[in-house]
Amino acid sequence: MPRLLVTGGAGFIGSNFAHYVINNSDYDVIVVDKLTYAGNRASLADLPEDRLTFVRGDIADARLIDDLVGNVDIVVHYAAESHNDNSLDDPRPFLHTNLVGTFALLEAVRKYGKRLHHISTDEVYGDLAFDDPNRFTEATPYNPSSPYSSTKAGSDLLVRAWVRSFGVAATISNCSNNYGPYQHVEKFIPRQITNVLRGLRPRLYGEGRNVRDWIHADDHSSAVMTIIEKGRIGETYLIGADGEKDNKTVVELILTLMGRPPDAYDHVADRPGHDLRYAIDSTKLRTELGWRPSFSNFEHGLAATIEWYRKNEAWWAPAKGATEAFYARLGQ
Ligand code: NAD
Ligand code: TDX
């Protein structure tokens, strides 16, 4: 069977992708993950041992990565430090993983002539004004705002340079905000859901007018599989599902779906440099590769996600206390 190396496969989107691949293809999956605070081996616990191999390690460890890449067919690179608020508090791990780690993977795929798909974010494009009629496209200039998004932008540029200078067979995708099961409680949607489950009030940064373009993690996975199978080498594809909503609307919807008054939340200190709005135009992916999202109704996807957190308190509870202590220190 063909073998996929999934970096960061014990994190939110990587573990959803491992489930998607094992349930929808013949690929065997090898996950390499450092198990930082954001990684959780339990997110892969229900996958069959004959299809999934787990290796604990750092993607910046060139010797380990060389060994692993030499023995697979395709590398799908999810591993990253991924949270903006952490990057504003301590940027150093973002440079290590997002830049040095991506460099180690690029050197290994170059040496062995392996196919790479690099996972990135819409945040590399900076933000849009609320009333801007345009959305991000593959041609939008890079303009990142935070240590997180600037290191992701840097990792994309490394991939592009290795394609051009060394002929590495890579593709890149830049996706909008994901939601779904297995997302760490530091992120917006799981934080609010688990606050309500704990009897705490949701916390909205600033006025809550900032807009994010939401996509279910399964739709992100199907888009990545489409690019691996049909994408043109050297190309970038934007992934999005036309899910723009402001944060206030999302908090009110979570409260309503959980049977609470829609105004039972608190405004807290805003994020420094807070990007106003992200919006993805995924026309290229849809017209060239024929991809379509399957979660067309955000409310249904959100209700299923709430149900998952309700049923899986044992998965998220160990991280909740430290996460809220971190936010309390920031006044958030
Ligand atoms: P996450 O923080 O939930 O998971 C990251 C995983 O990478 C964790 O399992 C962690 O242990 C692992 N990791 C971190 N440093 C590592 C290292 N040095 N070596 C090996 N493993 C390491 O992140 P996520 O939200 O699942 O994001 C995954 C990818 O998708 C990232 O590249 C992110 O930039 C991108 N992305 C995320 C979103 C989103 O909405 N969350 C949207 C677009 C793109
Ligand atoms: O408690 C909160 N209250 C709040 O209002 C938190 C945690 C967040 N927010 C706001 C900030 C953002 O406007 O909600 C929005 C979403 O916040 P995050 O979940 O931190 O996501 P964001 O900063 O938009 O970045 C996410 O999408 C792009 C992922 O974390 C990135 O990894 C991805 O690249």
- Predicted confidence (pLDDT) per residue in 29-50, tens digit: 999 999 999 999 999 999 999 9
- The verdict on residue 289 lying in a domain is yes
Assign residue 236 the CATH number of its domain: 3.40.50.720
Question: What pLDDT, on a 0 to 100 scale, did the predictor assign at position 26?
Answer: 96
Closest ligand 2 atom, residue 205 Cα: 5
Question: What pLDDT, on a 0 to 100 scale, did the predictor assign at position 276?
Answer: 98
Question: What pLDDT, on a 0 to 100 scale, did the predictor assign at position 296?
Answer: 87
- The verdict on residue 248 lying in a domain is no
Secondary structure (DSSP) of 249-262:
HHHHHHHHHTTS-T
- The verdict on residue 200 lying in a domain is no
- The verdict on residue 234 lying in a domain is yes
Tell whether pTM > 0.75.
yes
Question: What pLDDT, on a 0 to 100 scale, did the predictor assign at position 123?
Answer: 98
Residue 263 tokens, joined: 């105004």
The C-alpha angle 74, 79, 80, rounded to 5 degrees, equals 145
Residue type, 256: T
Count: domains in the chain: 1
CA distances from 284 to 113, 173, 193 (A): 27, 11, 34
Question: What pLDDT, on a 0 to 100 scale, did the predictor assign at position 226?
Answer: 98
What is the percentage of the chain residues whose pLDDT exceeds 90? 99
- The alpha carbon of 11 and the centre of ligand 1 are apart by a number of angstroms equal to 6
- The verdict on residue 120 lying in a domain is yes
Are 192 and 260 in contact by the 8 Å Cβ rule? The answer is no
The C-alpha angle 111, 221, 316, rounded to 5 degrees, equals 105
Indicate which residue of 81, 122, 213, 281 is catalytic.
Answer: 122
Ligand 1 proximal residues by C-beta, below 6 Å: 8, 10-14, 33-36, 38-39, 58-60, 78-82, 97, 101, 119, 121, 152, 175, 177-178, 184
Residue 13 tokens, joined: 């989107």
Question: What pLDDT, on a 0 to 100 scale, did the predictor assign at position 74?
Answer: 98
Q: Is 175 helix (H, G, I), strand (E, B) or coil?
A: strand
Give yes or no: 179 in active site: no
Nearest to 117 by CA among 36, 24, 236, 242: 236
Give yes or no: 148 in active site: yes
Residue 111 tokens, joined: 């040496």
DSSP label of 44: G
Closest ligand 2 atom, residue 251 Cα: 5
Low-confidence ranges of the chain (pLDDT < 70): none
Are 41 and 67 in contact by the 8 Å Cβ rule? The answer is no
Question: What pLDDT, on a 0 to 100 scale, did the predictor assign at position 170?
Answer: 98
- The verdict on residue 310 lying in a domain is no
Nearest to 6 by CA among 27, 36, 37: 27
Domain encompassing residue 138: 3-183+214-243+277-296
Question: What pLDDT, on a 0 to 100 scale, did the predictor assign at position 245?
Answer: 98
Closest ligand 2 atom, residue 177 Cα: 27
- The verdict on residue 192 lying in a domain is no
- The verdict on residue 92 lying in a domain is yes
- The alpha carbon of 8 and the centre of ligand 1 are apart by a number of angstroms equal to 6
Which helix (H) or strand (E) segment holds residue 70: the answer is helix 62-70
